[in-house]
């Protein structure tokens, strides 16, 4: 199969082009560094297929970081399995001078090339007119295509150029091949780059005419005066975050309540319809609450990522990266740590992988170690359930919702802790004299593409439901089994020992049934396990049921809620279906005191803010550091931080 | 009969979790995040 390599500077729209060509749905973003490894996709021409390889963005063939090495390793070795038969080099038409460096390097290797002038809409808005015929004079052996991948402009021409490769043996590039400079010969690389830039300057002066049309530039500059302002920039960013969390809390609560009530009713209906037995109990006490515990968070996750992806699409996230760079430097974090840390606010796994852009090993390791402290989307279900449970739903200063404010505070807590831990690591453990340079080009503001926003929301929700959902469901089934069975006939004996009321007073009967249920649960395998770990978690204000949920959520944080849903459904004889949150509110110790109080709730929130409860992230850290040592250290330090933080929170608030 | 079905479902759930954990730590293909395409690709390279 013939191979077509997709190359270009970061944030030139390669991934959008890749998606257009292959029909795949790789993530795109209006900020640099979204692609950190090569991606594969296919393009069909009748019966034949061409493989499209999307390489990470790089400014030059000569690598400065791990992700950029991918390009050099492939392009410098014609016998490499991914060596392209055709190179499509995507350039930002609004910044030809910088982008032509990479193109000229690939062109001079003698590989057949297609030069794609992308972002032509931005170039036009900036008043730039590019003379394609004249550009072709300077690069006669290339096909030049004008495109706008956002709207699909130029795709037909590009496919035709690829089809030429498919029909003939090679698209002719008669350029005499100029060999690459060795990867470690920095002096020769610098000389080569300088010579190329001098030539490119002459070419750009020859082919680009700048008309006076500064409307768009003025608009972007005017906005940037406020959005990247040294003080106002932070005020605006934190206000935007605050508005997002307020919106998430106020709007998502309605559909969440409907879903919660719907599943409670479904469980009741199933119990009434199916014949009584083990299978019916597994469905109503294990599987239905388990699935409900997953689906209830779709509105919040969908809404949060809808708002965040609008910020990304418009180009505002690039400004956030820019201002966060300044914030992070005093804490010893590299400028290039910003993108991994911001990515970790969605999921730590791509965040850890994005650290490949950091050249210095010490700085990369520090970023990997602190990235999971950023609040990821898996924490949302835990945070929102506990906040709704223990934080009063009230307004402060007349317009701020206290629950939304606490959610904002938890995200801020994650960021501040990550910065402080990075500072400690830097000062005491991994001093580094190397300072990596962080270059960031601020893209022009664009109107969001709603198809991309919708795709992002759909993928996030799908990932949560299908990936986390399967684990939650499987754990719910196991928990149900552990809660439903016990050693020998201990459960029955203990239940029989509960004294039945002598009257038929419904309140007394209900109290008796609740006590039988609680006794059975305590004597089940789960109860025995929970009671065993209770002494360790008691100082944090947790009972054994929370302890079991805490244990299961070491697989993934969001399992906590599904586990609670299952635990509180088993042995429940009540005819009145209640949403999980009401069951948790009514949970009391034997002395009548509520289990979920402000103290125990805040303690749990702090625990989840700090604890390393994600097997998938640990596995990625192991792979990226090629050692068991660092994931274990991460698990250890975050565990200690979580335990101490939760202990202090509980002891202060109880 | 119900006991057998329930037993099979529990065994399937336990096996699923075991296989997921094994693949995560010792397998080549990584899953579990938004960039699954990256993981799949890495396992091939």
Beta-carbon separation of B13 and A278 below 8 A? no
Q: What is the pLDDT of residues A248-290, one digit of tens each?
A: 777 887 888 888 889 888 988 998 898 888 898 899 888 888 8
Report the mean per-residue pLDDT for chain A: 83
Q: What is the SS3 assignment for A11?
A: coil
Q: What is the pLDDT of residues A189-217, one digit of tens each?
A: 888 888 888 899 999 999 888 776 555 56
b/e sequence A346-382, b meaning 16+ C-beta within 10 Å? bbbbbbbbbbbbbbbebbbbbbbbbbbbbbbbbbbbb
Beta-carbon separation of A349 and B35 below 8 A? yes
Q: How far apart are CA A279 and CA A396, in angstroms?
A: 49
Beta-carbon separation of B33 and A347 below 8 A? yes
Inform me whether the pLDDT recorded for A183 exceeds 70: no
Q: What is the pTM of this model?
A: 0.70
CA angle (A250 as vertex; A249, A253 as ends), nearest 5: 75
Q: What is the pLDDT of residues A62-83, one digit of tens each?
A: 877 666 777 888 888 888 888 8
Mean pLDDT of A351-364: 79
Q: Which of B30, B35, B41, B45 to mutate to test the interface with A (most CBs of A within 10 A)?
A: B35
Q: How far apart are CA A462 and CA A456, in angstroms?
A: 10
| Nearest to A454, CA basis, from A309, A350, A343, A317 | A309
- When mean pLDDT is compared across A367-376, A441-450, A634-643, the lowest value belongs to A441-450
Q: Can you give the pLDDT at residue A599?
A: 95
Q: Can you give the pLDDT at residue B36?
A: 37
Cβ-Cβ contacts under 8 Å, A350 against chain B: 33-35, 38
CB A444 within 8 A of CB A219: no
* Helices A402-424 and A629-653, axial angle in degrees (round to 10): 130
Exposed, middle or buried by CB within 10 Å (0-12, 13-18, 19+), for A324? buried
Beta-carbon separation of A353 and B13 below 8 A? no
List per-residue pLDDT tens for chain B, 45 residues long. 888 999 999 999 999 999 988 887 776 544 443 333 333 333 333
Inform me whether the pLDDT recorded for A653 exceeds 50: yes
* DSSP one-letter string for A553-599: TTSBTTHHHHHHHHHTTTT---SS---HHHHHHH-B-TTS-BSS-HH
Task: Report percent pLDDT > 90 for chain A.
Answer: 18
Count how many Cα atoms sit within 13 Å of the Cα of residue A62 in the half-sphere of its side chain.
17
Give the strand order in the sheet containing A48-54: A39-45, A48-54, A2-8, A86-92, A113-118, A142-146
ipTM of the complex: 0.73
Top pLDDT among A51 and A219 is at A51
- Residue B19 contacts A where some CB pair is shorter than 8 Å: no
Counting one residue from A and one from B, how many pairs have CB atoms under 8 Å apart? 81
Mean pLDDT of A589-607: 92
Q: What is the pLDDT of residues A215-245, one digit of tens each?
A: 556 677 888 888 989 899 999 988 988 888 8
Measured between CA atoms, the residue of chain A closest to residue B41 is A39
Residue A279 has its nearest CB partner, among B5, B16, B20, at: B5
Beta-carbon separation of A353 and B34 below 8 A? no
- When mean pLDDT is compared across A185-189, A246-250, A332-336, A625-629, the lowest value belongs to A332-336
Inform me whether the pLDDT recorded for A390 exceeds 90: yes
Exposed, middle or buried by CB within 10 Å (0-12, 13-18, 19+), for A87? buried
Contacting B with CB below 8 Å, chain A residues are 24, 26-27, 36-40, 277-279, 282, 346-347, 349-350, 353, 459-460, 463, 467, 470-471, 473-475, 477-478, 481, 555-556, 615-616, 619-620, 622-623
Q: Can you give the pLDDT at residue A415?
A: 92
- CA A483 to chain CA centroid, Å, is 34
Sequence-distant (≥ 6) Cβ neighbours of residue A136 within 8 angstroms = A142, A144
Q: Which of A477, A562, A632, A635 to mutate to test the interface with B (most CBs of B within 10 A)?
A: A477
Beta-carbon separation of B34 and A350 below 8 A? yes
Confidence of residue A328 (pLDDT cuts 50, 70, 90): confident
**Nearest-CA distance B28 → chain A (Å):** 10
């Amino acid at each position: 199969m013939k191979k077509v390599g997709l190359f270009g500077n970061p944030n030139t729209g390669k991934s959008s082009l890749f998606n257009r060509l292959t029909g795949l749905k790789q993530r795109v973003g209006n900020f640099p560094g979204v692609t950190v490894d090569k991606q594969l996709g296919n393009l069909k021409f009748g019966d034949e297929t061409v493989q499209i390889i999307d390489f990470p963005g790089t400014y030059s063939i000569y690598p400065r970081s791990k992700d950029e090495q991918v390009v050099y390793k492939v392009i410098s070795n014609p016998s490499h399995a991914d060596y392209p038969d055709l190179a499509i080099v995507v350039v930002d038409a609004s910044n030809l001078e910088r982008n032509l460096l990479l193109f000229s390097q690939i062109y001079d290797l003698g590989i057949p090339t297609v030069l794609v002038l992308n972002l032509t809409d931005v170039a036009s808005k900036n008043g730039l007119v590019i003379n394609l015929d004249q550009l072709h004079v300077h690069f006669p052996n290339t096909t030049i295509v004008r495109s706008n991948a956002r709207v699909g402009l130029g795709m037909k021409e590009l496919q035709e150029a690829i089809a030429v490769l498919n029909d003939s043996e090679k698209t002719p590039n008669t350029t005499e091949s100029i060999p690459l400079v060795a990867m470690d010969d920095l002096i020769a690389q610098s000389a080569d780059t300088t010579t190329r830039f001098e030539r490119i300057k002459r070419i750009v002066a020859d082919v680009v005419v700048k008309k006076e049309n500064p409307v768009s530039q003025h608009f972007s500059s005017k906005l940037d005066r406020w959005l990247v302002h040294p003080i106002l920039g932070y005020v605006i960013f934190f206000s935007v975050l605050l508005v997002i969390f307020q919106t998430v809390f106020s709007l998502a609560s309605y559909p969440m309540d409907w879903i919660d009530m719907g599943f409670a009713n479904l469980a009741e209906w199933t119990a009434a319809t199916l014949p009584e037995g083990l299978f019916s109990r597994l469905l109503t006490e294990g599987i239905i609450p388990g699935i409900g515990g997953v689906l209830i968070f779709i509105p919040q996750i969908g809404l949060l990522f809808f708002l965040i992806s609008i910020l990304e699409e418009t180009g505002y996230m690039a400004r956030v990266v820019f201002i966060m760079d300044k914030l992070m430097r005093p804490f010893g974090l590299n400028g290039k740590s910003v993108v991994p840390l911001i990515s970790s606010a969605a999921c730590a796994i791509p965040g850890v992988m994005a650290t490949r852009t950091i050249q210095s090993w010490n700085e990369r390791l520090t970023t990997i170690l602190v990235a999971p402290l950023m609040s990821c989307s898996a924490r949302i279900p835990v945070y929102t359930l506990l906040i709704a449970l223990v934080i009063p739903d009230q307004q402060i200063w007349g317009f701020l919702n206290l629950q939304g404010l606490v959610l904002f505070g938890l995200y801020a807590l994650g960021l501040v802790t990550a910065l402080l831990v990075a500072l400690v690591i830097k000062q005491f453990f991994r001093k580094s004299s190397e300072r990596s340079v962080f270059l960031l080009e601020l893209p022009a503001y664009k109107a969001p593409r709603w198809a991309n926003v919708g795709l992002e929301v759909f993928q996030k929700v799908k990932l949560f439901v299908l990936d986390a959902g399967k684990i939650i469901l499987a754990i719910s089934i196991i928990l149900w089994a552990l809660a439903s069975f016990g050693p020998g006939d201990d459960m029955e004996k203990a239940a029989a020992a509960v004294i039945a009321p002598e009257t038929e007073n419904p309140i007394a009967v209900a109290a008796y049934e609740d006590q039988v249920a609680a006794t059975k649960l305590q004597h089940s395998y789960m109860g025995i396990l929970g009671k065993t770990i209770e002494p360790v978690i008691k100082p944090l204000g947790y009972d054994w049921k929370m302890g079991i949920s805490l244990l299961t959520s070491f697989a993934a944080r969001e399992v906590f809620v599904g586990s609670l849903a299952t635990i509180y459904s088993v042995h429940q004889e009540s005819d009145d279906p209640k949403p999980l949150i009401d069951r948790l509110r009514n949970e009391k110790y034997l002395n009548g005191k509520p289990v979920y109080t402000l103290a125990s709730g805040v303690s749990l929130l702090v625990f989840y803010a700090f604890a390393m409860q994600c097997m998938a992230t640990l596995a990625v850290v192991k792979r990226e550091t090629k050692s068991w040592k660092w994931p274990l250290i991460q698990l250890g330090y975050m565990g200690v931080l979580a335990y101490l933080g939760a202990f202090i929170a509980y002891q202060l608030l109880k | 009969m119900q006991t057998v079905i329930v037993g099979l479902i529990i065994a399937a759930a336990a096996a699923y979790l075991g296989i997921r954990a094994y693949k995560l730590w010792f397998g080549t293909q990584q899953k579990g995040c938004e960039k699954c395409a990256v993981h799949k690709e890495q396992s091939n390279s």
